[in-house]
Amino acid sequence: MRNMYTDSVGPIVRTAPNMIHFNDIDSYNQVFKVGTKFPKSASLYTNPTTKGSLLNITDFHEAHLRRSALQPYFSKQSVRKLEGLISTKVTKFLDRLNDMDTINISRGFRCLACDVITTYSYEKCFEALEDPEFAPDWFRAFEALLDAPPIAEIFPFFMPLFTWLFENLDRSTIRKISPSVSAVLDFTDQCRGAVMRQKTRWDAGETDMVTIFAQLFQDDLKKGRKASTDEELTADALLTISAGMDTTGHTLTLATFYLVKNPDIQGKLLGELKTVMKHPRDDVSEETLERLPFLQACLKESLRFSHGVPGPLPRDVPSGGATILGNYLPPGTIVTASHYLYHTNPNIFPEPLKFNPERWLAEDTRELERYFMPFSRGARVCIGLNLAWGELSLTLARLIRRYEISFSNDFKDENMEWKPMFVPITKGPLLVTVRERRE
């Protein structure tokens, strides 16, 4: 992608008859700011597996109403109340590592994130960490689910046909045509069952349950929002799990990879962790970890490599048109930007492909922060970013403090290269072995 932007071409490129891709931070902030007039483009946000979810809503007002119903459950204050739940799941995850020889820790991290978000969302854990190999059936379905959006990016005209087939073919036919799509449907059924059981209890008067969907079960007359339909609840249930797993799982995978590959960096982090965790199995609070500058620097550098969503994020030029980098774009033009390009800008991040947490400890990091958007920005910023930060901090700190970690004999660095999906998925797993620290 970076090869598109040469001195002769410049920071704006026409990638399709009706699509412009730009690489300019001021233009990014123009398009993605709070109060933007550039809506999400239906060219991408029509994935049938998340039809009806917050992710797919392109209308500003409708998206605001849905988001405002979910936002309170992901505030900093709400996440702090979840710390006991997160710590319990992290302990279970770390204990499981002792039972395994060669560990696919990439999947382990996603199983951990899944158990946190499902317990919080549904009061019923999906128990992904119980799987002997961290490879429950839903994980393969999740991987299949992530394959669909890039099709929309490259061949947007295929999406209506794909959606029609998805919605109209019977399950047995879909299973024959595509077992992976069938697995996605099975996982969707599991999510639907979880949220529908909660809705049934809510409708029966059990309104004191813990669920992030409480406000979506009912009308909000003051705001003019109607209760979500069963389809919308199912879509948001699926989205919550998949989004809740991905950024956390991928970032922890990369953090572990780079810390094992750079023992000097890991050693400095371990020394800092020992100041607040005297023994390898000690628990610790997120509030304490927030005061550890090198840990926070390691997390930011890992998020910079993770990118959140690295591929193009299409938005439609609003009525009246818009000017980007001096170029007038007519209404309906699709504009895209890539977090990958900003996170690897060599003028902002020298040696951008080098894992260097020290860059975040400089006296002035304002320019780095300006180009740092792993959770996107503006009104559509990732709703779960506070939960992600909590999981990242608690998991990485306790993992590094408790275990000596090594790559397995059959692991290759090439595994950590990522596929061009909607979210970054590595070409292979991170395979490690662990040994308890003895102190």
Contact 116, 127 (CB under 8 A): no
- The pLDDT of residue 49: 64
Give Cα separations from 83 to 75, 124, 282, 427 (angstroms).
13, 17, 15, 32
Q: What is the pLDDT along the chain (439 residues), one digit of tens a residue?
A: 555 544 446 789 998 899 999 999 999 999 999 999 999 998 777 766 678 899 899 999 999 999 999 999 999 999 999 999 999 999 999 999 998 999 999 999 999 999 999 999 988 899 999 999 998 877 776 666 555 545 555 555 555 666 666 667 777 777 776 666 677 778 888 889 999 999 999 999 998 888 899 999 999 989 999 999 999 999 999 889 888 888 899 999 999 999 999 999 999 999 999 999 999 999 999 999 999 999 999 999 999 999 888 778 899 999 999 999 999 999 999 999 999 999 999 999 999 999 999 999 999 999 999 999 999 999 889 999 999 999 999 999 999 999 999 999 999 999 999 876 667 788 899 999 999 999 8
Q: Which of 408, 393, 406, 394 is nearest to 437 (CA)?
A: 406
- The pLDDT of residue 256: 99
- The pLDDT of residue 210: 81
HSE of 293, CA atoms in CB hemisphere, 13 A: 6
Non-local (6+) Cβ contacts of 262 within 8 A are 355
- The pLDDT of residue 173: 76
- The pLDDT of residue 62: 94
Distance CA 417, CA 429 (A): 10
> What is the spatial order of strands in the sheet that 403-407 belongs to?
103-104, 431-436, 403-407
- The pLDDT of residue 79: 94
User: Hey, how many other C-beta atoms are within 10 angstroms of the C-beta on 334?
Assistant: 23
Domain CATH for 349: 1.10.630.10
- The pLDDT of residue 189: 86
Distance CA 368, CA 348 (A): 6
382 annotated as belonging to a binding site for a ligand:
yes
User: Hey, how many other C-beta atoms are within 10 angstroms of the C-beta on 233?
Assistant: 22
What is the residue range of 291's domain? 2-436
Q: What are phi and psi of 59, to 5 degrees?
A: -75, 130
Distance CA 417, CA 257 (A): 12
Hey, what are 354's tokens? 């080098």
Q: Which of 322, 428, 429, 412 is nearest to 20 (CA)?
A: 322
- The pLDDT of residue 6: 45
- The pLDDT of residue 122: 86
- The pLDDT of residue 255: 98
Domain count, the chain: 1
